[in-house]
Amino acid sequence: MIEIVPENPAQHADAIEDLFDRTFGPGHFAKTAERLREYSASLPHINRVAVEDGRVIGVCRVWPLVVGEARRPALFYGPVAVDPAYRGNFLSLRITEAALEAGKAAGWPAAVLIGAFSLFGKAGFTVTPKNRLTFPGPQDQGRVMVRDLAGDASELEGLVTAP
């Protein structure tokens, strides 16, 4: 049986890093999204981990960020990774939805995600208008999405940075 639980860093951190390496390869550190993560710390109480028989098979990490000159707070969702043996059953979507609920329950106003609308649109994300959100590096604007949590994601505009 697959359980989706909050991340316990002492228990899950090494397995999550191994999953990221197996899923994305070493090139994932070169992505623009990593520029946001390297100056921040994920939020284990909001992160969600899929576990089966004590083994980490999926994860959605979540990071605080601020947007624009107004420095509006939001959460950055990702990376989302699922063990290749478990792909095809929307586990990544289930993990992300659990993390979104945790972010909303914690009072965060909005979520930002870089990914495929064909998947994450099912979790309520919408693609932002081109260049409404900019990043500290090149980013495919067609993959930049937002979603309301406990506030209004349409208020987000400008440069996305770590807090």
Burial class (CB in 10 A: 0-12, 13-18, 19+), 58: buried
CATH architecture of 2-161: 3-Layer(aba) Sandwich (3.40)
- The per-residue pLDDT for range 66-122, each reduced to its tens digit, is 999 999 999 999 899 999 999 888 999 999 999 999 999 999 999 999 999 999 999
Looking at residue 30, its pLDDT comes to 47
Residue 24 has pLDDT above 80, yes or no: no
Query: CA 76 to CA 65: how far, in whole Å?
Result: 6
List Cα–Cα distances, 28 to 69, 70, 80, 98, in angstroms. Answer: 28, 30, 12, 24
List the domain boundaries for the chain. 2-161
Q: Is the pLDDT of residue 33 over 50?
A: yes
Q: Which amino acid is at 146?
A: V
Query: Encoding tokens for residue 14?
Result: 């090494």
Distance separating alpha carbons of residues 29 and 77, to the nearest angstrom: 16
pLDDT over threshold 90, residue 151? yes
Is it true that the peptide bond before 79 is cis, omega within 30 degrees of 0? yes
At 22 the pLDDT is 84
8 Å CB contact between 43 and 89: no
Instruction: Give the residue with greater pLDDT, 40 vs 82.
Output: 82
Q: Taking 90 as the threshold, does the pLDDT of residue 145 lie above it?
A: yes
If pLDDT is split at 50, 70 and 90, which confidence band does 40 have? confident
User: How much is the pLDDT for 72?
Assistant: 97
Give the per-residue pLDDT at 138.
Answer: 84
pTM tops 0.75: yes
